[in-house]
A and B are shown apart, each in its own frame.
Chain A
Amino acid sequence: MHMVNDKLSTSAWVNNVIKPEEFEKYLVEGKDFIDDEKIWQQINESTEPSAERVREILAKSLSVKTLDPTELATLMQVRDPQLWQEMYEMAAKVKHKIYDNRIITFAPIYCGNFCVNNCLYCGFRADNDKEKRAKLSLAQVRDEAEAIAGKIGHKRVIAVYGEHPETDADFIAASIKEIYSVKVKTRKGHSEIRRVNINAAPMSVADLRKLHEVGIGTYQVFQETYHHDTYKKLHPANTIKGNYPWRLYVHHRAYEAGIDDVAIGCLFGLYDWRFEVMGLLYHAIELETRFGVGPHTISFPRINPASGSPLPTDPTYNKYLVSDEDFKKLVTLIRLAVPYTGMIITARERQEVRDDVMFCGCTQTDASTNIGIGGYAKNTGKQEIDEQQFMLGDTRSLEELIRDLAKRGVITSFCTAGYRCGRTGDQIMDLLKKGQEKHFCKLNAILTYREWLDDFAGEETKKLGEAVIRKEIEEVQKKTPTIFSKKLYDLTMQYYERIKNGERDLYI
């Protein structure tokens, strides 16, 4: 009887999720902003551009202006490997101009894998009886956050939830509060999670307000595929996720709810990657046009094998799997098309791919990643296909990643300063577009790197990290007083010394 009641309540919950009036108002003449035919026309009508034309478009990216879809389609037609090399280098240059020499790191926390949907590519799909289902209690959420903050040293997490009444907006809000309440003593100071981003299913404005009120960081929802027919085939019509516009307009609802940072993305390998990159650009333009604030980040995961799911081995779809070469191209094109946005490459990718593509404009990555439910506290060191959404390609620890980045002269940043002083939403967008944010990034990277080195680094990593810090401080000195005032430089160095003495969470 209990089971019957549970099933009934789940089905009643499902029927109540979608609020058509919350997306229909955004449709123009009944249509959403992804015009499949027009996108294909733009791709197909573009011809191979001259080097001169390519450089004109690259100059526009470097001036931090969002490209027009036709300009992006033009770049897709480049065949000359030399020109592609120029494009890779320009993507790195654009990233450096906006975000400086830093990579932000984070960890995902999978809070539950119950799901009412049936997406053909996902291990969490409701019909997958191989998947071991679990949901963390709030005490277990806390254990995860303590392990991440106290043993690994991350300051940012992205909490991930399946779409299910077990992990509804109230549970998500309670878990955000739990994560923020963690404070762990470390070698020289203390550690805590300062920014909780969320990857959760589309919800109503009222539910999104609940997340806003408890201090959600970025709200991340991927459209998976922008192609309407493919979307329909992969997401059964009798499920919540089967409703394309409900998902497409969730970032609009998030802005309505007061959430200031939203993130978009798509799962590459479900449809032609060129179409998907165009879809991401149209999505960014729509958000910029409607709200004056584009996506805070864009993600571009490639599909990986998942337990109990017919994709990606189904021959109908595996023609869309993205090669490593095309993956590098698509990451580069996203950076050039939406120059101001943060770009996230995750541990789904193999180490060699990540090490290469990271330098085509990526700004964030994860490390010491565990995507099992309760995986950080258990710390078995193994991946369990029946307990996670997909298999990871790169299992490097945060320390290993930091060391590898340091060898390439890159500083790992744990900065969350924007959230400490309201540099969020349209304010941060403005700074990013003017190329000013990178100056804050530089100073806060130095301060937060210092914290991590003192609290978590082994001797070898510390030595490499010290060299990176010295180089970064020298650069700041060279830019004082032209970019940084003497007063700001002195304040930064004062904070730096205080951090060395055990104070934490000092920022510019």
Chain B
Amino acid sequence: MVNAISTYNLERMARFYGIRIWLCRRTGRRWAFLEGAGTEKVMSSELIFENAEFGVFVQGEDYDKAGLAAEVAQLMQPIGVC
């Protein structure tokens, strides 16, 4: 089982990094939106994390990409099979 980021954490990261961030579920060859936080802007987006089930996209400029990617990866770590 994988852990999805909570709305609380998405909002916190959107504020802290000054970005738009959203969580998607992988369905076949496409991504389906689940939850997001921060203001949508007219700019390209980047997939900063993906696993078998989820993907996390970000829109933003001049933010700490490495810090955010590490934080997202931590939050999306498998939490074991139940």
A206-225 to B contact mask, C-beta < 8 Å, 1/0: 00000011111100000000
Residue in B27, B28, B45 with the greatest tally of chain A CB atoms within 10 Å: B28
The answer to whether B30 touches A430, judged by C-beta atoms less than 8 angstroms apart, is no
A436 contacts chain B at the CB level, 8 A cutoff: yes
- When C-beta atoms are compared, the residue in chain A nearest to B45 turns out to be A421
- When C-beta atoms are compared, the residue in chain A nearest to B28 turns out to be A215
B61 contacts chain A at the CB level, 8 A cutoff: yes
- When C-beta atoms are compared, the residue in chain A nearest to B59 turns out to be A421
B2 contacts chain A at the CB level, 8 A cutoff: no
The answer to whether A425 touches B31, judged by C-beta atoms less than 8 angstroms apart, is no
- When C-beta atoms are compared, the residue in chain A nearest to B30 turns out to be A419
B9-23 to A contact mask, C-beta < 8 Å, 1/0: 000000000000010
Return B77 CB to nearest CB of chain A, in Å. Answer: 21
Which of B24, B28, B42, B47 is the one whose CB lies under 8 Å from A180?
B28
Which residues in B have their C-beta under 8 angstroms from that of A195?
A: 30
Interface residues of B, Cβ cutoff 8 Å to A: 22, 24-25, 27-34, 36, 40, 42-45, 47, 55, 57, 61
25 contacts between A and B (CB under 8 A): A177-B28, A180-B29, A212-B32, A215-B27, A215-B28, A258-B27, A260-B33, A419-B30, A420-B31, A421-B57, A422-B24, A422-B31, A422-B32, A424-B31, A424-B32, A424-B33, A425-B33, A427-B22, A427-B40, A436-B42, A483-B42, A484-B42, A488-B42, A488-B43, A488-B44
Which residues in A have their C-beta under 8 angstroms from that of B22?
A: 422, 427
A421-446 to B contact mask, C-beta < 8 Å, 1/0: 11111111011001010011000000
A491 contacts chain B at the CB level, 8 A cutoff: yes
**Distance of A427 Cα from B24 Cα, bound (Å):** 11
Which residues in A have their C-beta under 8 angstroms from that of B25?
A: 258
Which residues in A have their C-beta under 8 angstroms from that of B24?
A: 421-422
- When C-beta atoms are compared, the residue in chain B nearest to A421 turns out to be B45
- When C-beta atoms are compared, the residue in chain A nearest to B34 turns out to be A422
A485 contacts chain B at the CB level, 8 A cutoff: yes
Which residues in A have their C-beta under 8 angstroms from that of B55?
A: 422
Which residues in B have their C-beta under 8 angstroms from that of A436?
A: 40, 42
Which residues in B have their C-beta under 8 angstroms from that of A423?
A: 33, 45
In the A-B complex, the 6 residue pairs with the smallest Cβ-Cβ separation, listed nearest first, are A215-B28, A422-B24, A422-B31, A419-B30, A427-B33, A439-B42
The answer to whether B31 touches A419, judged by C-beta atoms less than 8 angstroms apart, is yes
Known contacts being A422-B22, A483-B42, A485-B43, is A427 close to B31, with CB within 8 Å? no
Contact residue range for chain A? 35 or more
Return A488 CB to nearest CB of chain B, in Å. Answer: 5
The answer to whether B27 touches A212, judged by C-beta atoms less than 8 angstroms apart, is yes
The answer to whether A422 touches B33, judged by C-beta atoms less than 8 angstroms apart, is yes
**Distance of A72 Cα from B29 Cα, bound (Å):** 39
Majority SS of interface residues in chain B? strand
Which residues in A have their C-beta under 8 angstroms from that of B45?
A: 421, 423
Return B13 CB to nearest CB of chain A, in Å. Answer: 16
Which of A213, A421, A487 is the one whose CB lies under 8 Å from B47?
A421
A62 contacts chain B at the CB level, 8 A cutoff: no
**Distance of A491 Cα from B44 Cα, bound (Å):** 9
The answer to whether A215 touches B57, judged by C-beta atoms less than 8 angstroms apart, is no
- When C-beta atoms are compared, the residue in chain A nearest to B44 turns out to be A508
Residue in A177, A195, A484, A488 with the greatest tally of chain B CB atoms within 10 Å: A488
The answer to whether B28 touches A430, judged by C-beta atoms less than 8 angstroms apart, is no
Residue in A194, A420, A421, A423 with the greatest tally of chain B CB atoms within 10 Å: A421
Which residues in B have their C-beta under 8 angstroms from that of A484?
A: 42
Which residues in A have their C-beta under 8 angstroms from that of B40?
A: 427, 430-431, 434, 436
- When C-beta atoms are compared, the residue in chain B nearest to A442 turns out to be B42
Return A209 CB to nearest CB of chain B, in Å. Answer: 10
Known contacts being A258-B25, A427-B22, A427-B36, is A420 close to B44, with CB within 8 Å? no
Which residues in A have their C-beta under 8 angstroms from that of B61?
A: 485, 487
Return A422 CB to nearest CB of chain B, in Å. Answer: 3
The answer to whether A176 touches B28, judged by C-beta atoms less than 8 angstroms apart, is yes
- When C-beta atoms are compared, the residue in chain B nearest to A491 turns out to be B44
**Distance of A260 Cα from B30 Cα, bound (Å):** 12
Which residues in B have their C-beta under 8 angstroms from that of A421?
A: 24, 31, 45, 47, 57
The answer to whether B43 touches A258, judged by C-beta atoms less than 8 angstroms apart, is no
Return B22 CB to nearest CB of chain A, in Å. Answer: 6
**Distance of A488 Cα from B36 Cα, bound (Å):** 22
The answer to whether B30 touches A215, judged by C-beta atoms less than 8 angstroms apart, is yes
**Distance of A484 Cα from B22 Cα, bound (Å):** 21
**Distance of A465 Cα from B61 Cα, bound (Å):** 34
The answer to whether A213 touches B33, judged by C-beta atoms less than 8 angstroms apart, is no
- When C-beta atoms are compared, the residue in chain B nearest to A217 turns out to be B30
Which residues in B have their C-beta under 8 angstroms from that of A194?
A: 29
Return B33 CB to nearest CB of chain A, in Å. Answer: 4
Which residues in A have their C-beta under 8 angstroms from that of B34?
A: 422
